[in-house]
Amino acid sequence: MFILSVKDVFSAAHKLENYNGKCEELHGHNFVVEAVFEGETLGSDGMLVDFKILKQYLKNALDTLDHKYLNEISFFAERASSSECIAMFIFNTIKLAIKEKNIFLKTVKVWESEKACAAYRE
């Protein structure tokens, strides 16, 4: 199994509803996101898939979140705008966009700080 990973960043604001602490107030993060892909079959070029394709999938997903107030996005109207749910949103967005038949999205990790991240996988 071959595993490829790409990272990107986005900035957004949110507040955690039903939370008792400082994060219940409006605040922002510079989120770092890593998407991990896997597959078994290399192409004739010796690659699973070109990194630029994977970077574009991630960028397209993050563009819907970048410089937004996350609580106003419909996905987060039904659930928390936590790092866990952000990872799930990004995972679902990328999964729907993948056109290559030889790769699968394995995990999406979202760091809200240098010391804390959440991940989502199916």
77-90 pLDDT, tens digit per residue, is 989 999 999 999 99
Q: Measure the CA angle with vertex 59, ends 1 and 62; round to 5°.
A: 110
For the beta carbon of residue 88, count every other beta carbon within 10 angstroms.
20
Residue 74 banded pLDDT, cuts 50, 70, 90: very high
Q: How far is CA 112 from CA 17, 27, 60, 73, 103, in A?
A: 17, 11, 19, 18, 27
Task: Give per-residue pLDDT as tens, 5-32.
Answer: 999 999 999 999 888 888 788 899 999 9
- Maximum pairwise Cα distance, the chain: 54
Which three-class secondary structure state does DSSP give residue 66?
Answer: coil
Candidates 37, 32, 50; CA nearest to 5 is 37
Instruction: Give the model's pLDDT for residue 20.
Output: 86
**Tokens describing residue 5:** 């990973």
| CATH of segment(s) 2-120 | 3.30.479.10
Find the radius of gyration of the CA atoms of the chain. Answer: 15
- What's the predicted TM-score (pTM) here? 0.95
> How far, in Å, CA of 53 to CA of 101, rounded?
13
Give the residue extent of every domain in the chain: 2-120
Query: Could you identify the residue written with the tokens 């192409």?
Result: 43
